[in-house]
Every structure is written in C-alpha cells, then in structure tokens.
Amino acid sequence: MLQGKKILLGITGSIAAYKAATLTRLLVKQGAEVKIVMTPLAKEFITPVTLATLSKNTVISDFFSHDDGAWNSHVELGLWADVFLVAPCTANTIAKMAHGICDNLLLTSYLSVRCPVIIAPAMDLDMFQHPATIKNLQILTEFGTTILQPESGELASGLEGKGRMLDPEKIMSELIALFHSHKDFQKKKSL
Ligand SMILES: Cc1cc2nc3c(=O)[nH]c(=O)nc-3n(C[C@H](O)[C@H](O)[C@H](O)COP(=O)(O)O)c2cc1C
C-alpha cells in the first residue's frame, strides 16, 4: 500500500530507536523505498549496519567523510522524499526542529524537505509534560507537522505515563491513512 513511496526515515537518540528496525522492515514490505538519516546519538542505540540491511540503502548521518571529502546532500534528500518521518523523535530534536537549529544532517534535511513531515515523539513522561516540549510541539503543529501522539504505559525508565513511541505497526497504519486521505501527501510541495 506504500508501493513506490519515497520515505525519508529520521532516527534520533531514544531508547525507542530499536523499534525503527521493525518500522523499516514493515515499510519496505509495503513497497516503500526507504532512506535513513540518523543523528549521531542515534547510532549509540541502533547500528547503521542493521538499518542499511533492512532498508536496502546506505544509512547516512555525517555531513561528509573525513577520509575522502565525499559529502551527503541534504538538498537532494529533501527533493527526493515524499514524506519525512522522524521515529523516534527525541525532545532534543523536537526542540531543534521547532527553532530551526540544523547542527546535524537530520535537522538540516528537515529544513530542506518540501514534503509533509511526521514525527513520532518518544521520551519519559516528565520530558513529554515539560512546558518546553509542549510549546515546541505546538510550534511544530503550527508549521504543519503531523504529530503521532505517544501512548501511555510502562516507560524504559520504569515510570508509568505518556511518552512511549507508537508501535511501528500503528505508525505504518497512520502513514498509509495519511497518504490516502490528506492532499498534502499526494503531491510534493511545488518549487
Ligand atoms: C539510555 C538513554 C535513553 C534515552 N532515551 C531518550 C528518549 O527516549 N527520548 C528522549 O527525548 N531522549 C532520550 N535520551 C536523551 C537523548 O539521547 C539526548 O537528549 C540526546 O541529546 C538526543 O540527541 P538527538 O536528538 O540528536 O538524537 C536518552 C538517553 C539515554 C542515555
């Protein structure tokens, strides 16, 4: 149901990053083409090798290679994507997205994309309830970002509350529904 859709999947430094492997597999199974951009911190939680294997594409994270100067183009990625999905999305990355900070390749890509943006926040309940996070999510909503609200339940910290990233199956269902129902998902933003 996602046949031929070009999905730029952003992964950030959350304990929920391991779920990105299942999400990638599900998206590829649905016929989507998946390219992955990770924050440097995300690589501490899940390896690029796992994600490159599942997505069938090289995973990118760095602006350039120190060895040979080869560089990754956030502009090309931005033009390529039909949708930019950041899952999991940390409080840190939410804050930076809300304020236009672009000090890594994921954030620079975010400012470059012309397609709809969806984020699946994942964090501890106190981080999620903090006025700063609430405000930053409001800003992103005003920018037109779709927020996939986290669920309540047991969190990795051992606390109970809202902050658990939506399960990969639910994220995929939401994505399919948005592609079918929302006009912004049916065409790219014009130049
Ligand atoms: C074990 C561990 C788990 C973490 N899980 C989360 C999380 O689920 N959500 C979150 O917002 N931050 C989490 N953090 C903190 C982020 O890794 C930290 O804010 C980092 O700067 C995020 O960077 P990034 O947004 O560039 O990936 C966690 C940190 C550790 C050490």
Question: Residue whose CA is closest, atom 5 of ligand 1?
Answer: 14
Higher pLDDT, 108 or 78: 108
Our answer on whether the CB atom of 47 is closer than 6 Å to any ligand 1 atom is: no
Residue 109's contacts (CB-CB under 8 Å, 6 or more residues apart) are: 8, 10, 37, 74, 77, 78, 84
Per-residue model confidence (pLDDT) at position 67:
84
Which amino acid is it at 30? Q
Average pLDDT score over residue span 88-103? 98
Closest atom of ligand 1 to 90 CA is: 11
**Distance of CA 40 from the midpoint of ligand 1 (Å):** 11
**Distance of CA 56 from the midpoint of ligand 1 (Å):** 26
pLDDT above 70 coverage of the chain, percent: 97
Which residue, 103, 118, 108, 181, is CA-closest to 149? 118
* For residue 63, pLDDT beyond 90: no
Per-residue model confidence (pLDDT) at position 189:
55
Average pLDDT score over residue span 136-151? 97
Residue 160: band (very low, low, confident or very high) from pLDDT cuts 50, 70, 90: confident
**What CATH class has 6-185?**
alpha beta
DSSP designation for 94: H
Per-residue model confidence (pLDDT) at position 186:
66
Q: How far apart are CA 83 and CA 81, in angstroms?
A: 5
Per-residue model confidence (pLDDT) at position 190:
52
Average pLDDT score over residue span 69-93? 92
Average pLDDT score over residue span 145-174? 93
Q: Structural domain boundaries of the chain?
A: 6-185
Average pLDDT score over residue span 113-134? 96
Question: Residue whose CA is closest, atom 25 of ligand 1?
Answer: 93
* For residue 163, pLDDT beyond 60: yes
* For residue 100, pLDDT beyond 60: yes
